[in-house]
Each structure stands twice: as C-alpha cells, then as structure tokens.
Structure 1
Amino acid sequence: MSSSTPAPDLASISGAAPVSLCAREPHVPADRLVAEMVPPPRFDAVRFSTYIPDPNQPSQTEAVSVLTTFAAGLGGAHAVGGGKRGFFGFGRVPKAPAGPRGVYLDGGYGVGKTHLLASLWHATPAAPELKAFGTFVELTNLVGALGFQQTVRTLSDHRLLCIDEFELDDPGDTVLVSTLLGKLVDHGVALAATSNTLPGKLGEGRFAAADFLREIQGLSAHFRAQRIDGEDYRHRGLPEAPAPYTDDRVTQAAQGTPGASLDAFPDLLEHLARVHPSRYGALTDGVAAVCLTGVRPVPDQSTALRLVVLADRLYDREVPILASGLPFDRLFSEEMLKGGYRKKYFRAISRLTALARDAQRLVEEPETR
C-alpha cells in the first residue's frame, strides 16, 4: 500500500488521514528560536529530586551534589547601573572572575546528563527569560538566524546558558562557539554543557583538531569537567526493543491513530535534506506518532547526521516511532559506528530504540489499550 494512499475505511474510523512529514516545509522565525530555548517537553517536570542515581555509580550522586551547589550559587540580584555580574553573585564587579565559569557533564549516552542539565535550568533562581537551554546544534542555528553580534546581545543578559549534546563537527563551529562563549563569559553568563566527549577532546576524529587546538583548549578552560559513569538507563532492566512490524501493520496503525504521520523512510531522508535542521522540531509540530515504512541503512554520513538531529527532536518531544524494515540498530554502517561521529550515532540508536518501545501501544489490540 502506498504511504500516500490511506485506506478510506480506516481513515474514516480515525477521523483523519495520517499527515506526511514529507509534505511539510515549516518556516521558523528567529524569535521562535529564542523563545524555545527552554528544556524540551520530555524534561518539563524533571528535577534533581527525580534523578535516580545508580547506587553502583557514585559519580552520579556526586554530579547531583555538584550541580545543586552550582545552581544555588547563581542566585542573587541583578547587576545595576551597568555593572558586570559576578559568578556566584550578581553585584557590580570590575571584571569576570578567574577560573572555569561553567560545569561540563561528561559521560556515555543514557546516564541522565540531559535530565541533570534540565534540572539545573529549573533549579537556577532566575526568571525563565534569563535562562537559556538548547542543544549545540540549536545554538549554532540561532547564530545563523540572528547573526553573531545579535546572538551575543540576546544571550548576554542571561544568568545561565545550558548547552546539551555539545559537539564540534567542523572547524567553523569550533571557532564560532569558542568566540561566542568567550563573549558571554565576559558578560558574566554562567555555562553548563553535556557531551560524550571531555572538553579537551572535542573534535577528535572529525577534522584536523590539531589545527584548532588553541580554540578547543579555550573552550575547555570555561568548564569544570564532571564525569558521570553508568549504563544507558533507557535500556537498564527493560526488555529489548520490539522487532520492526510489517508495512501493512505500520500503515494500519498510522491510519488508526489520530495525529500520526506516515512516510516511507527513504522519502523522509530525502526530505530532510531540503529542510534546515533548525526546523526539524517544527516539522513534527502536532504529530502524535511517527510511522515509517521501509527503514533501511542510511546511505551516507550527511544523511546520517540529519537523521540524528531528527531523532533528538522526536525524543525531546516524546513522539513514539513505529517502523517496518530493519531494526534501528542497523541504521548506521560499521564504518560510521567506528568513526568520529560514532557517539552521535549510538545516542540516536539508543533514543530511537526507546521511542520504538513507546510505540508498541499503537499496535496493541483495542481491548488491551
């Protein structure tokens, strides 16, 4: 059955035919990019108290303690009279204090780094408009939309900038982010970031990191590194992800689920190449579930990296994914999983697997729902 030709009887039962992500070309104004720099819906309600440390991993308990202290230190009144804010108090100071101005959470995928970063955002005693939260990709997209100087002006009055999934994928981003964070630190903005790579190791295996060593070391100097050990909580003690379904089962579930989308996987990959990654969140606005037919290995690295961004946005929004074809752990080639972007790909596999598990309810029999 064609993904663009839903069965009339099932469509009438659900009240509407599934939407197609491939038919969407969202426009995202710059002010929306700024307004959306808050923890995503999945992390609306998380707090330090809801983080459950693995008792076998003392670094997880230590991270909660470090971040709780860090958040408490960001309290106090705003600077007045144009004075520059300090790190642990926001009175007038002659210059930014020496030493690291932020905390950097390093660890494998699935140890709860984003949970802790969002908890820090919530715990920081400042109005929401004085705190910003976004992924590394979203931060670079903001610079692209506003321009460098306007981005500095927009973020320089913030108390805290949280950067999730800190990545340095090319020399241009290295210099851009290094310069931006340096400017923000000069304005007294505290920083917090997560990544799977220690600050001094950013960029390894992706480009000639030695040529940009000065910039990378400059970034590292802004952060105190906090290691978080542990296994992926998304799969800790849980059953394996469900096997892919048939095309007919996926199509039927899409047609019976209000708000679901239905696309052929190869078509979606082609469409992602025509939509800027900054718009992937808007691409899924109002979508209750993503249904994909014919999942197969991604053909090249550029396509794979776009899929990683989409997986992150779907995971942030808790959108389940029901798919036919190959299982998600076979999306990326062995060469990709051994290359410089391997940690991105493993994160994507982890998140897509969790969303596939969430989608099982879409194919349950009605009486068991």
Structure 2
Amino acid sequence: MVKALLAELELRKDEFKGQNVETIYLGGGTPSLLSDDELRSILGAIYKGYNVTEAPEITLEANPDDLTKERLMSLADTGINRLSIGIQSFFEDDLKSMNRAHNALEAQRCLDIAQHYFNNITIDLIYGIPGMDINKWDHNLEIAFKFGVNHISSYALTVEPKTALDTFIRKGTYPPLDESLALQHFNHLMDRTTEQGFVHYEISNFGKPDYFSKHNTSYWQGKPYIGIGPSAHSFNRIQRSWNIANNTKYIQAIQKGVQPVTIEELSIQDRYNEYVMTGLRTIWGISLNTIASDFGEVYKHHVLEAAQTYFNEGLLTLLIDVDNEKNHIEKITTTPKGKFLVDGIASELFMLN
C-alpha cells in the first residue's frame, strides 16, 4: 500500500504544478499504524514532487492507544507538527458504547505525554450521547481544558447503518438518540469554549487564535486539494474526483500506472451549492460579492430571497464588512441560534433545477 501511495504521488504531481502545498493531512483512517520510516517516505515524496511551503501544517490522525511515549517522541522527529487525536470521550462507558479500542485512562495518558512533544494538538469529542447529562458533558470539556489543548473538533453522535450501535438501538439495548439533548450539549459547548478563549470558527471546530486548522479551513474556503489513496477525494474547483474504495483494485491499477478514479464535472449550480454549504458553516459566512462574481447576479438574488425567512427568524444575519482595499463586502452568516440548524438552512438556500 505504501508503495502504491508513493507511486500515485509521482503519477499526479503535474496536477499541482505551479501551486503551493500549504498543508498535508495524514488521515481518513489510522495512519499512526505506519512506521516512522513509512511516514518519512510519504512526506519525502511530497517534498520531492510538489512545491511545499516553508512551514506547512502537517497533521497526523491517531488513536490514543497508538500514542505511547516512545511513539510520540519518534513522531516528533518525522516532520509532523500537528496531532489530531480521536479521544471521543474521557469516560469508559461512552467509549465502550462507541466500540472504541482505547480506554479512558489511555485517553488522558496520551494527552499528558503528547503535550511535551507537540504544541499543536486537536482532539475529537462526541456530544449527544444518550445518558450523558450536562454535568458529565461539562466534565469532558473540563478535562480537555485542563490539558491545554488549543483546538477541539466536536460532533453530535450519529448512528451509521449496520454498525454495532445501530444494532444495539434496534434491539432496544441502547437508548435512541435525542436531538434535544444534542442541542443542549452543543449550546453548552459554545458557551464553555468561548469562556476559555476558543473561537467557534466552524460549526464543529473550536480553536484558540493561531490554532485554527489550516487544512480544513482551506477545504471550507474552496481551495484545490489532492487526495492520495483508496477512497481519497480531490478537488480542483471545476471537478471533484475520488479513487476506488477497494484496496486491492487500487494497488493493481496504480501498479499499471493508472489512477483508478471517478471524475464528476461540477456545474455552476453545483459549485454555488457547495460554496453555500461549506461557507455557512464558518465564521466567514458566504459573500454576496463572491456569489455575484463567480456564479452570477441570478444566484445573488436567489440566495437573498431564500434567506429572508431565516433573517426574520434570527437564524441568519446580513453583515457588511470592509476588506483591505476598503471595498464593502456583504456576507451572510449564521447567528448563534442558527448554528445547530445550519445544514438544514444551507439546503434551503441551494439552487435546484
């Protein structure tokens, strides 16, 4: 697999010719299972074939049970400068219900050690877990704050079909999800992170100043990116593509010098809808100036008309900002009240045939 990843990097280097690589994200699975030498070979191939900026953000996704002291020490020498640790919860019963491999002790132990080797650490926390009262959720947050993490990604618990959790709920051995509980947790999350100096810069992401995820921010702002490996997605502003999900077929195709990819041409309507979907999730919102210039005045009129109901309900707001050149920028952003409902609101602003 690693040889195939290296071969795909070489195969596709011309796609990014003339562009700078500002972020590298090793994730979408469990890349911490790779050896240090394998990680170095992948990063080396990127530096060799692509124009990497002087100080890129290089993130590695990892599970707490993979992060021993020795492993953290060696990772710090590979060039990786940001860790994304899938904590999910600091409570044993929650971790068991989510079928996580690590335990509560490992969750805290890895953070205690990691902060000695990395100052840029983000953790994942799950809210809306049935049976988790507000005090328990607050205790989860307090532990994160105690360790001084500068970034938290937090998501409502969801149930995927055919998973163990899905089976438990259908059999009645685990309580169903409660959206009102998730909303209560979400509101508490916004309040507590604000008190601690975090900026709620994207619906699921909270970062201290200078610790926003550069990689994810690029995605939300519509910058092009290349995804390497099985199932990996890529985007060049006019096309979206994704590699085959089957590992064996992926390796076999790459060995033949062929990228096993499906390509979708994005229409103006597709690009507008995606801009609305991603932009509304951020503090920067969606710019009416950008909509008019990139998609046309028809789209600007459409979004203003579609948003009117949400202005009236206090879920969206229309702001006027001034850029560095003193130009007036009109943008639509979500209000605190509208944040929890943003995906549904965004879908109502889409342009549909």
Is the pair's TM-score, using the shorter chain for normalization, greater than 0.5? no
Higher relative contact order (CA 8 A, sep 6+): 1
TM-score, normalising length: structure 2: 0.29
